[in-house]
């Protein structure tokens, strides 16, 4: 049993100068064989392992990670968590995740700092208004706490937004989900890693997958930089690199991996106390507990694995930020970075079995996977353990691209007469 984290354990350890804290997770060498191996030590992969051990009693399992855990999109995103999605399938998936988020710090005994400061989505043209109202009505009937705000209510909830009706794309209203918010991204990976490790899951870092060994149409194991690992079940949660792993197994996925950028400002005292998203002018902003403004930019149009996007995307994003928040003009960008997001044609993820027995994929989260981390892990674990999807991820099967039963979350195409 690991040290339990609490204010009391902090005080106790202060007396021993913090020299008796145990490792948050071990650093094992891979065993020869596991019951299941998760490829990818990001939030989703670690959560999958955690729930496989916790809910499905699969403890002879490993997570293999090419670099360091949480180093991909988990540690690079703008940490927005919400569940106000349009379609029933998406709402079910994301709200399942949101409900887990609400008790996650206690469940993991690790403070993931889930902060329900609300997420507001702004409308800037009449079609935005229609689309957001449609979403709000759907959310309400799906039991999701989304409400429509008129412009003056938007201003009241976040006073620093420029709601003047004279600007280029004036704010015509917005939706608010109060249960939505942000969390501390690193803590999610670390919390799940610690929890999984405690139940016996081997977390193997610096272990890159080089090949997938198949026997006919079933998997036999993984070739890695730390040797061959035998297993009958492989769950791939490799985000931007999903296609690379799929290609090793001779599969093609409906994905394109593109650069997505984000940036933070220098830290300042609290100035914005919620998360505000605007699709039409493309500006997302929140403020971290450290005081930095956290700003999400858009994706580039091309495939790239460089974790670098083009600068004009950042420029466009900040243009939009200053349009909505002119007071930020003298704020300074402290860091800018990129991640690799794997995007599905319908902007919805894949949590699915494949045509190869024992090979499962959890991918295609595009620009918004962080918010789903706990739910995604839980449902993927269910899918791997039972070789069948849970009803909440049944719609997110890979076969939908053949049947045409897509879950289109692009929202309505912004086209009107």
Binder of other proteins out of 22, 57, 225, 386 (CB under 8 A): 22
Site for other proteins in 292-321 (CB under 8 A): 300-306, 308, 310-312, 314-315, 318-321
For residue 207, the Cα-to-chain-centroid distance in whole angstroms is 22
Smallest separation, CB 163 to other proteins (Å): 14
CB of 274 to other proteins, least distance (A): 12
CA distance 322 to 51: 43
**Burial class of residue 170, CB neighbours in 10 A (0-12, 13-18, 19+):** middle
367-386 positions binding other proteins, by CB under 8 A:
none
Name every residue whose Cβ is closer than 8 Å to that of residue 226 and which is 6 or more positions away in sequence.
Answer: 29, 30, 64, 204, 206, 207
Of 192-231, binders to other proteins (CB under 8 A) are 205
Nearer to other proteins, 218 or 334 (CB): 334
Which one of 1, 29, 216, 403 is in contact with other proteins (CB under 8 A)?
Answer: 403
Determine the 3-state secondary structure of 64 from DSSP: strand
* Span near other proteins by CB under 8 A; candidates 32-40, 53-61, 65-73, 231-239: 65-73
Q: Are strands 293-299 and 256-265 parallel, antiparallel or unpaired?
A: antiparallel
Do 324 and 160 contact (CB within 8 A), yes or no? no
- Per CB under 8 A, contacts with other proteins among 109-148 are 109-111, 113-116, 124-127, 129-138, 140-143
Stretch (H or E) spanning 252: none
Give the residue, chosen from 57, 68, 152, 388, that forms a contact with other proteins under the rule CB under 8 A.
Answer: 68
Site for other proteins in 142-171 (CB under 8 A): 142-143, 160, 167-169
CA distance 397 to 401: 9
Tell me how far, at minimum, the Cβ of 201 lies from other proteins, in Å. 14
Tell me if 333 contacts other proteins by CB under 8 A: yes
Nearer to other proteins, 231 or 348 (CB): 348
Beta bridge partners of 221: 213, 230
Q: Is the dihedral of CA 244, 246, 252, 255 positive or negative?
A: negative
For β-strands 181-182 and 202-204, DSSP reports them as: unpaired
Cβ atoms < 10 Å from Cβ of 368:
21
Establish if 1 lies at the interface with other proteins (CB under 8 A): no
CB of 276 to other proteins, least distance (A): 15
Q: Which of residues 264-293 bind other proteins (CB under 8 A)?
A: 265-271, 287, 289-291
Smallest distance, other proteins to C-beta of residue 51, A: 20
Of 231-250, binders to other proteins (CB under 8 A) are: 241, 243-244, 247
Count of residues near other proteins by CB under 8 A: 132
Of the two residues 293 and 384, which places its CB atom closer to other proteins in the complex? Answer: 293
Rounded to the nearest whole angstrom, what is the least distance from the CB of residue 290 to other proteins in the complex? 5
Angle at 191 between CA 187 and CA 196, to 5 degrees: 150
Cα torsion 325, 331, 335, 336 to 10°: value is 40
d(CA 171, CA 280): 10
Min CB(204)–other proteins separation in Å: 12
């Amino acid at each position: 049993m690991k040290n339990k984290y609490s204010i009391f354990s902090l005080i106790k350890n202060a007396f021993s100068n913090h020299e008796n804290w145990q490792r948050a997770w071990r650093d094992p060498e891979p065993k020869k064989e596991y019951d299941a191996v998760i490829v990818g030590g990001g939030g989703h992969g670690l959560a999958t392992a955690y729930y496989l051990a916790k809910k499905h009693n699969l403890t002879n399992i490993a997570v293999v990670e090419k670099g360091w855990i949480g180093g991909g999109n988990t540690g690079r995103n703008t940490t927005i968590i919400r569940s106000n999605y349009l379609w029933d399938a998406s709402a079910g998936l994301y709200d399942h995740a949101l409900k887990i988020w609400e008790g996650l710090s206690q469940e993991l005994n690790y403070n993931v700092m889930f902060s329900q400061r609300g997420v507001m989505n702004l409308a800037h043209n009449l079609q935005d208004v229609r689309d957001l109202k449609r979403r709000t009505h759907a959310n309400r009937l799906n039991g999701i706490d989304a409400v429509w705000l008129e412009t003056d209510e938007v201003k009241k909830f976040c006073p620093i937004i420029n709601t003047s009706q004279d600007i280029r794309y004036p704010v015509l209203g917005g939706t608010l989900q109060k249960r939505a918010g942000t969390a501390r991204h690193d803590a999610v990976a670390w919390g799940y890693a610690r929890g999984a490790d405690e139940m016996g899951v081997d977390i193997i870092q610096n272990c890159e997958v080089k090949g997938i060994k198949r026997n006919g149409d079933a998997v036999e194991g993984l070739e890695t930089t730390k040797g061959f690992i035998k297993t009958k079940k492989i769950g791939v949660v490799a985000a931007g690199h999903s296609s690379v792993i799929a290609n090793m197994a001779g599969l093609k996925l409906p994905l394109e991996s593109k650069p997505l950028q984000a940036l933070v400002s220098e830290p300042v005292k609290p100035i914005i106390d919620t998360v505000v998203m605007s699709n039409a002018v493309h500006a997302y902003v929140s403020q971290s507990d450290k005081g930095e403004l956290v700003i999400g930019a858009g994706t580039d149009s091309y495939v790239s694995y460089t974790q670098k996007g083009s600068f004009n995307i950042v420029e466009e994003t900040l243009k939009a930020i200053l349009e909505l928040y002119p007071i930020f003009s003298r704020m300074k960008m402290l860091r800018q970075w990129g991640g690799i997001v794997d995007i599905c044609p319908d902007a919805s993820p894949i949590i699915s079995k494949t045509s190869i027995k024992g090979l499962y994929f959890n991918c295609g989260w595009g620009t918004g996977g962080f918010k789903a981390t706990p739910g995604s892990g839980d449902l993927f674990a269910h899918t791997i353990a039972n070789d069948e999807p849970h009803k909440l991820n049944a719609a997110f099967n890979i076969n939908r691209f053949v049947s045409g039963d897509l879950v289109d979350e692009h929202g309505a195409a912004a086209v009107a007469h």
